[in-house]
Amino acid sequence: MLSGKAKGLLVGLIFLVVVGALLNIAQLFVMAAGLGMVLAAAYVLARRAARGVTLECHAPDLVPAGEPFEAHLKVSSSGASSQPRFDVVLSLPDGLEYLEEVSREEGESWTRAVIRLSALHRGVHSIGIPAVSVQDPMGLFQVKVPAGQTLAVAAWPPPLDPGETSRPVSDQTGAETQEGGRKGNDGTSIYSVRPWMPGDAVRHVHWPSTARLGKLAVIEFEAESTTSALAVLDSACGTDQEAAAAFETACEVMSFLVQNAWLHRRRLSVLIDGRIIGNPFGPLGDREKREALAALAAVNPGEARPLEEVGREWMRAAGGSSAVIVVTPRWDEDSQAALCWLAQARRSVTAIVTSPPEDPDRREEGGHRGMVSVFQVRSNELVRA
């Protein structure tokens, strides 16, 4: 393929030949021959550099949605001899955004580049590399070499604290979160308590501190280190637009539960899309956290099934877990009755009910997220936490 400069030289060559023939000026033929030799040399260099092209590409297989990540590319050629220019042709899906080229290094027969991308939302995205563009050192000719490589990147959802639904947890600093959990309404400091988390037993709530904080607080030295919990993501909620939007909020809540359990070394196992991740008899480790986040990136809402039916499957999966946390995007009378049935078989059942954002368009722009309601489930009723 000719570049703009090559087309200009070709036009100039034709002009010199035509004018030289009309006016019988030998010098113009010599100049045209020189231009022809330049074009021929550039074409030979480009074709030679296109032989034996190899492409190496690396990108993280698991990234957080909404945050940039880097992909490393290296193109080399066994036939190149005069520093040709290599460019990688990218084919990105709608869920990935190209941000910038961070760096580029060029050698005699290779080029190494680092590009920055961003996943706009959770999911498994494919970075397609259909071809590599090879240019001669003068940039006159371009040859595309088929590459046919694909990189899969799984983007896990950003965490959403179910106790802080007024604004996303990512908008708060660690100091703000700690200060909010340690200061009473009268401005005095409260020690040895922590904010209540889904899965905490009601009997561990410290009511005097709760009254002063204005939200549930649990005695810190009773951090449930001996209590194992199973967090369940209800994916059999339906595939209509509203259910799918509420399911995205549920995935964000599950992301928070997984990362919080990993950070505080809590005994948590998760059930995502029929797969149990983690050990109820040990803390959530690095490998389990990574597997859970990868599962959250890949899971999709399925056809609606009665909550009582899937609840029986959850009970079989609960095993030795004493507490069950159900993250569900549906909230009808049948679902509430099914949750009460679960509470009859388990000592502690927490229901985290998610709803779609009021404006889905703003969600796509990084605006409002869905709302969350937390309930302690008893055998005959649900109590808002």
User: What is the pLDDT of the chain when averaged over all its residues?
Assistant: 78
Q: How far is CA 336 from the centre of its chain?
A: 32
Helix axes 26-49, 4-23, angle to 10 degrees: 150
212: its two tokens: 């002063």
Lowest mean pLDDT segment, chosen from 110-114, 178-182, 312-316: 178-182
pLDDT band at 118; cut points 50, 70, 90: very high
pLDDT score at 349: 83
Contact 74, 115 (CB under 8 A): no
pLDDT score at 184: 45
Which stretches within the chain are classed as H helix? 4-23, 26-49, 174-182, 207-213, 241-263, 286-298, 307-318, 333-345, 360-364
Instruction: Identify the CA nearest to 326 among candidates 229, 217, 228.
Output: 229
Is the pLDDT reported for residue 138 higher than 50?
yes
CA neighbours closer than 13 Å in the CB half-sphere of residue 369: 25
Does the pTM exceed 0.75?
no
3-state secondary structure of 267: coil
Where is pLDDT greater, at 219 or 143? 143
pLDDT (average), residues 236-261: 90
Is the pLDDT reported for residue 142 higher than 90?
no
Q: Residues of the chain with pLDDT > 70: what percent? A: 75
Q: Residues of the chain with pLDDT > 90: what percent? A: 23
User: CB 380: neighbour CB atoms within 10 A?
Assistant: 9
Tens digits of residue pLDDT in 61-98: 999 999 999 999 998 887 666 777 888 889 999 999 99
Highest mean pLDDT out of 68-82, 156-170, 220-234, 338-352:
68-82
pLDDT (average), residues 130-144: 80
Q: Measured between alpha carbons, how far is 183 from 6 in angstroms, rounded to an integer? A: 71
Instruction: Identify the CA nearest to 353 among candidates 339, 342, 368.
Output: 339
> Do β-strands 229-233 and 68-77 pair in parallel, antiparallel, or remain unpaired?
unpaired
Residue 360 φ then ψ, to 5°: -60, -30
pLDDT score at 134: 82
Is the pLDDT reported for residue 292 higher than 70?
yes
CA neighbours closer than 13 Å in the CB half-sphere of residue 164: 19
